[in-house]
Structure 1
Amino acid sequence: MQRNHELEQALSKVSKVLEGIIPVCMYCKKVRKDEKSWQQMESYISQHTEAQFSHGICPSCFDDNFSDKRAK
């Protein structure tokens, strides 16, 4: 009885695991939902897993997008 309960709890934790191939646009990184629609990767992953996102900016992107603005 206890073992069955433990197995059910474990199954509920892994029930939202992505498997297989996820079609992703090589430019914008959107995920293809069906033949005609695409959605942001973060939104797709949030809908299919328990993952949550926190956004930031890496040093390379910061330099690429803001370095000229800092020099002024």
Structure 2
Amino acid sequence: MAMNFKKYNIFIRYANMATQLFVGLGITLWLGKWLDEKLAREKPLLTWIFPMFYLIGYLVKLIKDTNKK
């Protein structure tokens, strides 16, 4: 029983991380696109920058969370 619980616990943990990643990317893409349109920018600079910073921050968090020292 304990091993079965551990198996589902790991699944839930990784499913949660994937959900956070995709929701965060969706929000940053939407926000960047909205701001680019609001500021009438010719090139979608914020649409590229916001998700890039989110991914960098998320990867740093992921490394810290999964590092077992």
Structure whose residues are more often helix by fraction: 2
> What TM-score does the superposition give when structure 1 sets the normalisation length?
0.39
Structure whose residues are more often strand by fraction: 1
> What TM-score does the superposition give when structure 2 sets the normalisation length?
0.40
The structure with the largest alpha-carbon Rg is 1
